[in-house]
Amino acid sequence: MSAGRTTALLGMALAAAVGLDAWLRWPRPAPVADRLPAFDPARVATVRLARGDDAWTLTRSGDDWHLPGSIDADAERVGVLLAGLARGVPLDAQVDRGNYEDYGLAGADPVRVDLLGAGEQSIASLIVGFDAGGGATWVRRPADDAVFRAQIGGRGRYDRPVAAWRDRLVVAVDDLQGLRFERGDGSFALRVGEPWTVEGDPGFEVDPVLIQQVSRVLGHLVALDVATEGGFGTAGDPIARVSLTSPSGTTALRVWPGAVALDGAEVAFRITPALSALLGGPLETWRDRTVWRLDPATVTELRLDEVERVILARQPGGWVVTEPAGVAADPGRSATVVAFLANPRVDGWLAVTSAEAGFLEGSRVVVATGAQRRTIEIGAPVPGRPVGREARYVRDPRRPERIGTWSAATWAQVRAGFGR
């Protein structure tokens, strides 16, 4: 081996050794065999949270939790916080000591968490910084300047404004028996039964699908957010007052667009605009939106009449387009459309004339069973609808006075069932 080559190899070996020594000396998170103390969540009587100048206390009362002023707190959220710490969270690695700013552990950034038992006995304390990535968060203990990385469920579990700890349960009504609506233009009431009926108007057909959905929602209505009285636009007059009757009594709600409040309560709850529009809407909102009801198993053929006729027929192997030739439809989509057209529903009924709806000869969907044929006529697009909320007029010619709408999405799904 030449002297030059030997020298080069020795140089490479020396460089590798120097690099290995530098890597070994480079500061890295130090794994530690340490963890937060484990505890029984049932022992915790008080949770204190503080960030900067803001501080709030959650106090246990049996299975419930309260904020100051006897305001109900969200017991589920408190339970999640306690459960995440009760197991004795491992402190995965020590990453620094005394340097707090880089980790959200200095100034007004950190959240201090104190868990106290009976007699203000300290059970656990923790200072929470920024999230560290990978599901971990920078933390330290109050009496220790060491900074650790730990899996505590994320900073967001602890860093909530006081309003976010309020109980978001608006109402829980088991076995809804009736609904009374008081609006500026009058009042009406719905009564339980098979089917539900309108008090004083037995001929009104209440939508069974809608009443079932509302009963389920009101069985455990949880708000999107909570605020003090006057929040979410509730300072003005409500659009309606709704009384919910059940075997356990009557609960009254005041309704605003996107918000509700219990009668006599100093708390406002934010709900979806769709739910508030329903609770605050007129009687017509509750009219049955199902056009007709057929057993899907009895449907033998569907026909779509547009510029060209398309026939979808039941075959031993499933649903097949038999006219025109060469058109294929997705069997799954076709089966879904058959189920929908056996019991078609409109998005709502509108007070318009046939002329305004623009029903055209030859634009229809026909549903055939062994005994009958039912038809939905397709009208013009509903004017004034914004992009993304387009709709078309539809009706059953057997009841021409009832004109409803199908959204553009519904109409597209119906056409897709025919391979269109």
- On whether both 373 and 322 belong to a single domain, the answer is yes
For residue 410, name the pLDDT band (cuts at 50, 70, 90): very high
- On whether both 302 and 244 belong to a single domain, the answer is no
Residue 41: inside a domain = yes
How many domains is the chain partitioned into structurally? 3
Structure tokens at 75: 């017991």
pLDDT value for 49 = 96
Q: Are 36 and 88 in contact (CB under 8 A)?
A: yes
Residue 291: inside a domain = no
Work out the mean pLDDT of the chain and round it to a whole number. Answer: 88
pLDDT value for 155 = 95
| Segment 333-336 long-range contacts (CB within 8 Å, at least 24 positions apart) | 333/413, 333/416, 333/417, 334/417, 334/418, 336/413, 336/417
Residue 289 has pLDDT above 80, yes or no: yes
Tell me the per-residue pLDDT of 80-136, one tens digit each, with 9 for 90 and over. 999 999 999 999 889 999 999 999 999 999 999 999 999 999 999 999 999 999 999
- On whether both 380 and 322 belong to a single domain, the answer is yes
The last residue of a domain, from among 240, 256, 286 = 286
- On whether both 272 and 312 belong to a single domain, the answer is no
Helix (H, G, I), strand (E, B) or coil at 156: helix
Residue 386: inside a domain = yes
Residue 235: inside a domain = yes
- On whether both 93 and 122 belong to a single domain, the answer is yes
Helix (H, G, I), strand (E, B) or coil at 131: strand
Residue 396: inside a domain = yes
Residue 259 has pLDDT above 70, yes or no: yes
- On whether both 84 and 155 belong to a single domain, the answer is yes
Residue 228 has pLDDT above 70, yes or no: yes
| Sheet of strand 91-97: strand arrangement | 30-31, 91-97, 146-150, 136-140, 122-133, 111-116, 46-51, 54-61, 64-67, 71-72
Residue 330: inside a domain = yes
Helix (H, G, I), strand (E, B) or coil at 273: helix
pLDDT value for 2 = 52
Q: Give me the phi and psi of 245, to 5 degrees please.
A: -110, 135
Residue 315: inside a domain = yes
pTM of the model: 0.68
Q: Are 252 and 263 in contact (CB under 8 A)?
A: yes
SS (H, E, C) 72-103: EECHHHHHHHHHHHHCCCEEEEEEEECCCHHH
- On whether both 205 and 242 belong to a single domain, the answer is yes
Tell me the per-residue pLDDT of 9-66, one tens digit each, with 9 for 90 and over. 445 544 444 444 544 444 455 454 588 999 999 999 999 999 998 899 999 999 999 9
pLDDT value for 28 = 52
- On whether both 263 and 281 belong to a single domain, the answer is yes
- On whether both 184 and 234 belong to a single domain, the answer is yes
Residue 25: inside a domain = no
**296 vs 315: CA distance, rounded Å:** 14
- On whether both 161 and 40 belong to a single domain, the answer is yes
The last residue of a domain, from among 119, 149, 165 = 165
DSSP track, 333-397? HHHHHHHHHHS-B-S-EE---HHHHT--TT-EEEEEESS-EEEEEEEEEPTTPPTT--EEEEE-T
- On whether both 152 and 195 belong to a single domain, the answer is no
Q: Which domain holds residue 51?
A: 30-165
The last residue of a domain, from among 146, 165, 184 = 165
- On whether both 39 and 109 belong to a single domain, the answer is yes
Structure tokens at 316: 């031993």
Token look-up 């880089």 returns 102
Domain CATH code at residue 264: 2.60.40
- Which is nearest to 259 in space by CA: 238, 245, 242, 285? 238
